[in-house]
Amino acid sequence: MSSFTADQLSRILEEHKRWCDTDGYEGKKADLSGASLYKADLSGANLSCAELDGAVLRGACLEGANLSGANLSYASLSGANLIRIRGLTIEQLSSVDTLYEAKLDPELKKQVREKYPHLLEKPEYL
């Protein structure tokens, strides 16, 4: 599991923004696979199409972030603030490890409760 300093994460997000803004011609797509981003402040970040599979985002603030097309497979989102996320779909959430104690918009929480209620339960490792 890798972790990043605030400066490193900031540079990764800047490169990813440039990658998004230039349709992939400049910058670099963010690959935060398996990263430990415990309690990271990613509010308002553009993480569209970013690789976040297996990332630990426990307690992270993602409020207002753009997660359109982001790979969230096996990501731990327990306690994460996912309010007003842009581009987040129920299909993306179907592959996460957990949403235990995550803050979700009411409609999204209702969808999760209906389709994937196990994601809202406390995992054994917590």
Q: List average pLDDT for each run of 10 residues in the chain, which is 126 residues long.
A: 83 95 95 91 93 94 93 94 92 94 94 96 87
Whether 116 is covered by a domain: the verdict is yes
Whether 34 is covered by a domain: the verdict is yes
User: What's the CA gap between 114 and 111, in Å, rounded?
Assistant: 5
Whether 125 is covered by a domain: the verdict is no
Question: Which phi-psi region, left, alpha or beta, contains residue 79 (left: φ > 0; alpha: ψ -120 to 50)?
Answer: left
Whether 70 is covered by a domain: the verdict is yes
pTM for the full predicted model: 0.87
What's the confidence (pLDDT) of residue 5?
Answer: 84
What's the confidence (pLDDT) of residue 104?
Answer: 93
User: What's the CA gap between 116 and 56, in Å, rounded?
Assistant: 20
Whether 64 is covered by a domain: the verdict is yes
What's the confidence (pLDDT) of residue 15?
Answer: 95
Whether 103 is covered by a domain: the verdict is yes
**In the chain, how many domains are there?**
1
Range of the domain at 113: 2-120
What's the confidence (pLDDT) of residue 1?
Answer: 67
Whether 126 is covered by a domain: the verdict is no
